[in-house]
Amino acid sequence: MNFLKKASLTLMASAVLLSGPAFAADKPVVGLIMKSLANEFFRDMLEGTKEHAKKNGTYELRAVGMQNETDFQSQINAVENFITQGVDIIVIAPADSRAMVRPLKKAMAAGVVVINFDVSLDAAAKKEQGVELAFIGPDNRDGARLAGEALAKNLGAGGKVVIIEGNPGADNAHERKKGFEDAIKSGGLVLLDSRTAHWETEEANNVFTNMLTANPDIQGVMAANDSMAIGVVKALESAGLAGKIKVVAFDNIPAVGPMLEDGRLLATVDQFGRDMAANSIELALEVLKGAPQLTGWVKTPLKLVVSDK
């Protein structure tokens, strides 16, 4: 939290620097390309960014979202439209970490400052196209490890756990599973089973109920997002085991608030999605002003939220 406060202070400071009168007449235009706005995470991010754009006042925001998580065709069109419109900055959460490299290279060639956030572009694809591009985003693996370690601390070595995975093939699902596995290894936990519930509550409820039937000795559950954790908690309630079998998750959506309060959910991870795009835009504006190009991985803050119970 402290880090975040400091970060926002620096952001505010740079906002003041940027809002000189010289820029008032000709504001830089920022094109923000997100993934599915059907996803609570991106929806919240859009709201946060709009708020930021209004408060900051030094840039003009043009935001677009996609139909679904994998609709990279629409993202390619969006990049091309932004190039045509002559935007100064493109901030993008790529729907496909390989396919988006080529259109973004085109944008950079046209003089647009490109910032890649949320999901990293594929390193090999970047190399092949000769593109140098920094990544701004959370370390999903590290976040999942934090949640997993909270569970390991609660259960102690030898605790038996299962993982509920996100969509197979999705980069963040993969990273979060890896992070859970890191915590299982370091905490000496025993992994009984690991299955996908495609990020969805009802499927998680069914899948976990059946996993519990097959493994009645489960002591802990690591769910790759909160929506699935809600389904797991409901299954535990039906089995009379809520609070007894410990659950950790990821995202910190409002709906898990009551579950954290009474201990049905042990912990979740907040990745401050609301501020993620806004933070990226701040960095991009500095580059546009002449600051050196960003390199490597600029990590955004993650915070473990643990139940008091």
Residues that bind another protein (CB under 8 A): 37-40, 43, 168, 193, 195-196, 199-202, 205-207, 209-211, 213-214, 216, 227, 230-231, 234, 237-239, 253-255, 258
Instruction: Give min distance, CB of 206 to another protein, in A.
Output: 5
DSSP three-state, residue 78? helix
Instruction: Give, as one character, the DSSP assignment of residue 295.
Output: -
CB 224 within 8 Å of CB 165 = yes
Lookup result for tokens 């910032």: 115
- Tell me how far apart the alpha carbons of residues 8 and 11 are, in angstroms, rounded to a whole number: 5
Burial of 309 (0-12, 13-18, 19+ CB in 10 A): exposed
**Cβ closer to another protein: 50 or 195?**
195
Instruction: Give min distance, CB of 25 to another protein, in A.
Output: 35
**Cβ closer to another protein: 142 or 193?**
193
Instruction: Give min distance, CB of 236 to another protein, in A.
Output: 11
**Cβ closer to another protein: 8 or 209?**
209
Q: How many residues does the chain have?
A: 309
DSSP three-state, residue 74? helix
Which helix (H) or strand (E) segment holds residue 135: the answer is strand 135-137
**Cβ closer to another protein: 107 or 211?**
211
Instruction: Give min distance, CB of 172 to another protein, in A.
Output: 16
Which helix (H) or strand (E) segment holds residue 119: the answer is none
**Cβ closer to another protein: 115 or 233?**
233
Instruction: Give min distance, CB of 262 to another protein, in A.
Output: 13
